[in-house]
Structures are given as structure tokens and as C-alpha cells.
Structure 1
């Protein structure tokens, strides 16, 4: 316990599964001692997942274009229309990358890209249906509300119609992309051309009512206040109260290279860990909490397993957007499993819906395939780029 009666009461109520208010969450975030905060969050994890299992997934984030009209200040990935460095992958190239991912055990692809001025609903219908036709068992956990709004505008359709059509074409679930910060002040500061946080959530709520589940994310470290971080979570929790459609919450940290914000603000590892713990206590209605070793590093990722986290996310066979802004953390599958095991947890490979595919109950069950590694962005590395074949793996 913290020694402060008010804090202790809030921590105990949250640890027991009770609902805490945004004001109480902010107080915990700013004032609760780290160890009692982490203990309370981990108590929630233990009650939800008494088997001690921590999950991971193998997937590939395939970007179909970097052409974008939205010009977010934190983004190092996009290029404006007609820019010399703009590109769009052919459908054959996207399918080739899907095949590589399947060969390495991936069960999911995240197809994401910029807001290309010519890409309407029809483009996504062809993209998703082609992937499903070639790889019927590959889950398409892709795009985000911003892409849905953009494609609907290009095609002149409603949000609901766009969602119905891309679901019919093969979209399985929606990624939490584009959330960044949902409250108006920080969102306008970093992405003035993007839809409002309320509009982002409206698309998610519509998708949930159509039977399309999703994840929710948060990018921290671009100058938002502590209160705005909590407000972001409140906005998500309110929608979850109505729909139950968010599978997990995934906070990550802003990466400072090659973008207009120039790293003027960043979140510390301690801020991140405190946020993770508060999120587990605040989101009594969201089943899973994933930490981002890709942006914070494997050491912070492992510590987060003691702060309420039950999922370490992906061995991401390809990732371009965050890597372009400076994320340089890599991991082999064998290393990620070891991170989980040496934290005193049981590793398990999951699917998109968090069903366990393989539980590594003992070290003898652990995967040994050294080929399965995350890799740097193909455009952030020297010699990389659209249409060039960058090896997914290095064999030694």
C-alpha cells in the first residue's frame, strides 16, 4: 500500500475489479507510488488470467502506399501526392509479401497505408478479396477509422456502407490505427487535417455494431498533458461500455526521427510503465492489455509484464511507419518467448481474437525457428524501398 488512504482505497477497488473514475485514474497516474500501482495492476491481470499466460502473435504490417493527403506532423512515412518519393505497391507485390509471411508462420496481416487521393472503397474491396482468395486462413486485421472515412469520401458512400462492403470483401477486424491522441487540443496540434477523436470513435462504434471488432491504441509523448492521456482512455472506455467491441488497448510512444515534431517532447519509460498500469486498472471492460516493445525496447516490454500486461504483441515481420520515425528495436521469436518466460510467465502464440494456438508450457515446448525475426522498415534502411526485395531474415 502507498500509505495514502485515498490512493490505497482507489488502488484496492480497482485491483478488485471495480470501476474507477477518470479523476481517480489521473490521481493514480500522477501520485501513486510505482510499486503499489504495479501490484494493483498485476492483481487484475492475475485474476483475469490465473494461468499466467502471456501471448504474442506473428504477423506482417504491409503498407500498400505511402501517398497521403493528411500530413500528420509526427509521421515520417507519408509523402504528398506527386512527390518523387511516393509509391504504391502492386497487388502482386502485396500478395508476394503475404506469401512470405504465411511461410514464416504468420496468422495475420495488417494492410495499412496513407490516404491516397484515388483509393476509394473499390480499391479496398479488390485488395481484401484478393488476399482472401489466395490466403483464406490469413486474418485481415487492417486499416483504421481514418482510412474508412477517406475511402468513403473518395467513393461518395456512407461510413456504414463502406464498412459493410469491405467486411464482405474479407476484412476481419479493424486496427486501432490513427487514434494517436483523441482529445481535441493535442490531436489538432499534431494532426490538424485528421478527423476528430469523436469521429474516429464513431467509425469504431459503427464497425462494432456491424460485427467488426477492433483494437484501441494511444500514442503518448507528443506534448499532451497527463489529464489528456487519461481523457483519451475515457473516450475509449465510454464507447466500450456501449459496444464491447475493443479487444485490447495498446499504448505506444512517439518516435522522434524524420518528422516535423522533431522530438521536442517524448514520453519516458517510467511515464509509459505508469500509464500501462493505470490502463489495466481503468479498463475494467477491455479484456487485453498489450505493451509496445517495438517503441519502448525489450527491457521496458518485459517490465510491463509486471504492470498488468498480458500480451507482448507481434513478431512483426515488416513494419514501415514507426520504423521510419526511428524505432530500431528488433526481436527474434525465440527472444520474445524468452522475455516472457524469464518474467515468470508462460508464453503462448495467439491468433487475432486472442485464442491460444500454441502454449509453451515448458522450455521444451518453446519454438526454435531462428528465421522468424522482426525486421527494420524496408524504406528506413539503406538500400530499402518500394519494389526492392529486402530479405525478411538473415541466416547465420
Structure 2
């Protein structure tokens, strides 16, 4: 274990067996202490924890993937529930986001069978016309693959056209657990693990900033979590020098309320200690990703604060609006004052950032 932790301190790539041992056997206090040591060696200012202001807007709630962990989506034929956000609604949401000091929309929807590349190009252009400085952190690898398929395009050409229309960065959405067996059980109609990895690789080749995520705590094993981290790490290693690649990694706990998985007997069993272990292992295994985010939305303030001393260096966004995870039982909330206070309570100085972790000036918007 000492040899493994020494490799982590040197930011060297662990073997699969070493990563398994780290997750399975490292005492949590030692693991967290080592992850914090590595964090301090990586981030520009170890006394700073970053945060962000953005709004998560759902483009549509129509989705044909049928993910068993999601109770937000509806089928195309459920016309009484189905919606597509209108341009007028976007105008209102953008205005309020700017009032609160936000600089970005996190745009996500589902695999809508009729919304092709033309729809998204027009949407992105319209949103940039409303506010040219607004950043669009939009879609996800499964949505890109779906848009490409129904538009008769390659995923690389789809990314190029979306970027030309105004896409600024690509979220890590739709990763869940990057294991084919888990994927088939959770989301049999969603683009595959291989497609997720390919789209992200193409984004890296195009120098489109991306993030990586993990939704854990459902049907996966601990070693499948580790394998997920190793796939992320190995994909990051293929990113051309000087390109953005994965800017951050964000794991969060599965929330089960009202989902198909809950009806099958798979319910949320949240352990703060297990979350802290995952954060610490993420910091040590992902030696080539600088930023690890604490998901306060799903784990709450106190656990997120502990994560800041266990490898995480970012508290994420206040999320002016969020619908998907909240609909499954995540009810934690922060405003700008609250997230900064939480960071200070943990012993750090809060700094507002943008999606690429460039610092922004906080103007005290309310």
C-alpha cells in the first residue's frame, strides 16, 4: 500500500490491480490525507475552492432511451407531459441567470426522435443571438450520438456543426457507469459505452472542453467503479497536448425516488464515508485530471465539505434550476451566499469560476 500511495503522490498511472487495492484496502483516513496532499500539489492555490453559477435547462423531457434510473423523461406519445422549451422561456431563464451573476446554460434533454442537427444548430444560434457572451455547456455524448444517427451524420461532423453554431463545452452526461454489462441493464436503448468514449475522444481532438461524470450506487460493483475511472483516465491520456480534454470529474450518488430501479428493489443507500472514499480514489487514480468536484446536490453540505479535505477542489454550481436529479429525491439547495459560506466553513476561500476553471469576479448579484 505504501508503494501504491507513493505512486499516487508522484501522479503516476496505477495498474488496474493497484487501483482495486487502493479502493478495497486503503484505510480511509490515510486515503483522504493522501488525496488532499495530491490536491494541494495540483491546484494553483491550495487554499481556494472554486464554485460556479449556471442554470440547468432541459431542452425537452421527451426521451426514447428508457433509462431505468430516470423518472423525469416521458415517451413521445405522452403528449400531456411532453414539452420542448420555447425561445420565450429561454429568454426569461437567461435574463434571470444573468441577474444572478451566471454566465452559462447547462442544456440537456433526452433522445428526442425528431430533434435533429438542424434543430440544435438553430437553437444554439438563437441563444447566442439573445446573449452573445452566454456560454453553452450542452448535450452529452449520448445525445450527440443520437443526433448524428437521426441526421445521417458522423458524430465528429455533428460536433463540428454544433461548435460552429455556438456549443462551448460538452458535459459528461450519460456516462453513469462505463461498463457494458451495467449499461445494458440500466439503459439498453442508450448509445453504448464505446460510443460515449468515441464522442468524447472526438471532442478532445477538436479541442472542445469536456467534463467526465459517474453516477454510482445502484447495480454496479466497487470494481466497476474503478474500471470507470480507468477508462476516463486512459481516454484523457489520448488527448492531444495543449487541448482541453476532461477539465473536471464529477461523481454523484444515484437517487432512486420514483424510478424503475426503485420499483425493482434498487434504492438509494447513501454512505458519506463511501462517497469520501470515492472522491479520494478519484483524485489518486485520475492523475491526469486536475479538478475533482464535490456533488453537494446529491450528498449534502457536510459531506461535500469533508470531500474538500479528501481530494476535491471544487463545489460545482449553485444550479439556479435543476430538474432531473431533484425529481429522483435530491433536495439540497444553495444560493451564492450559501455556497460561499459552506466553502468558508470548510476552511477555504471561495472563488467564482467559469466552465474552464478561469476565475471570475464576483459582483455580489442576488
Instruction: Confirm or deny a common fold (TM above 0.5).
Output: yes
In the alignment, the residues of structure 1 paired with residue 353 and residue 173 of structure 2 have an alpha-carbon distance, to the nearest angstrom, of 20
Matched, 1:162 2:158: yes
* Matched residue, 2:266: 264
Q: Give the gaps of 5 or more residues in structure 1.
A: 1-6, 360-366, 372-396
Matched, 1:222 2:218: yes
* Matched residue, 1:179: 175
The offset of 1:201, in angstroms, is 0.7
Q: How does 1:114-263 map to 2 (within 5 A)?
A: 114-243=110-239, 245-262=245-262
The structure-2 alpha-carbon separation of the partners of 1:177 and 1:12, relative to structure 1 and needing over 3 Å to count, comes to same
The offset of 1:68, in angstroms, is 0.6
TM-score normalised over the length of structure 1: 0.88
The one-character-per-residue Cα deviations of 1:47-73 (angstroms, maximum 9, x if unpaired) are 112522110000000101101111100
Moved over 4 A (4+): none
Q: Does the 8 Å CA contact 2:255/2:267 hold for their aligned counterparts?
A: no
* Matched residue, 2:63: 68
The offset of 1:113, in angstroms, is 0.4
* Matched residue, 1:343: 346
> SS of the residue aligned with 2:260?
coil
The offset of 1:31, in angstroms, is 1.0
Q: Give the gaps of 5 or more residues in structure 2.
A: none
* Matched residue, 1:315: 318
The offset of 1:12, in angstroms, is 2.3
In the alignment, the residues of structure 2 paired with residue 221 and residue 265 of structure 1 have an alpha-carbon distance, to the nearest angstrom, of 9
Return 333-342 or 302-311, whichever deviates more. Answer: 333-342
In the alignment, the residues of structure 1 paired with residue 153 and residue 44 of structure 2 have an alpha-carbon distance, to the nearest angstrom, of 46
The one-character-per-residue Cα deviations of 1:287-324 (angstroms, maximum 9, x if unpaired) are 11001000011111111001010100001000011011
**Larger RCO (CA within 8 A; separation ≥ 6):** 2
In the alignment, the residues of structure 2 paired with residue 26 and residue 338 of structure 1 have an alpha-carbon distance, to the nearest angstrom, of 36
Matched, 1:29 2:23: yes
In the alignment, the residues of structure 2 paired with residue 99 and residue 124 of structure 1 have an alpha-carbon distance, to the nearest angstrom, of 21
Aligned-residue CA RMSD (Å): 1.4
In the alignment, the residues of structure 1 paired with residue 83 and residue 286 of structure 2 have an alpha-carbon distance, to the nearest angstrom, of 39
The one-character-per-residue Cα deviations of 1:129-162 (angstroms, maximum 9, x if unpaired) are 1111111111111110111111111211111111
In the alignment, the residues of structure 2 paired with residue 107 and residue 250 of structure 1 have an alpha-carbon distance, to the nearest angstrom, of 20
The offset of 1:239, in angstroms, is 0.8
